[in-house]
Amino acid sequence: MMYIYITSTVALIMSMIMMLLCSMISKSSKKDQEKLSPFECGFDPKSSARTPFSIQFFLIAILFLIFDIEIAIMLPVILTMNISMNWMWLITIMMFILILILGLYHEWNNGVLEWAK
């Protein structure tokens, strides 16, 4: 038991020493403005990299990602249902699709899918 305590203490001390050494070595003495600027394929950026973008576009992109992932989750279930026709699989996938449809209806009802207001 004492061997475990000694080993874990030595490992903890060694990791702390390594973290301290890495933080001391990696500190740069001078932060260059060129290094902090955004990078566009070797050219100077034509406009600010911090320009705002449309929230509607962001929400549509998030919805696309959610439904894309849900389809990727449903494909193996559909293939499994072909092999074994189990009623639990059918109920599970129907509940899953029902939750997706209710989420889409909620988004549509809140006006998230309206592009122009």
Specify whether the CB–CB gap between 9 and 1 falls below 8 A. Answer: no
Specify whether the CB–CB gap between 77 and 93 falls below 8 A. Answer: yes
Q: Which two tokens stand for residue 16?
A: 């702390």
H or E element at residue 35? helix 33-36
Q: Is residue 97 part of a domain?
A: yes
Q: Is residue 100 part of a domain?
A: yes
- In total, how many domains does the chain have? 1
**Mean pLDDT taken over the chain:** 78
pLDDT digit string, tens, across residues 24-54: 887 654 556 666 666 656 666 666 666 777 7
Non-local (6+) Cβ contacts of 101 within 8 A are none
pLDDT digit string, tens, across residues 68-98: 888 887 778 777 776 776 777 778 888 888 9
Specify whether the CB–CB gap between 92 and 77 falls below 8 A. Answer: yes
Question: The domain containing residue 65 runs over which residues?
Answer: 55-109
Q: Is residue 30 part of a domain?
A: no
Specify whether the CB–CB gap between 81 and 89 falls below 8 A. Answer: yes
Q: Is residue 14 part of a domain?
A: no
What pTM, to 2 d.p., does this model score?
0.45
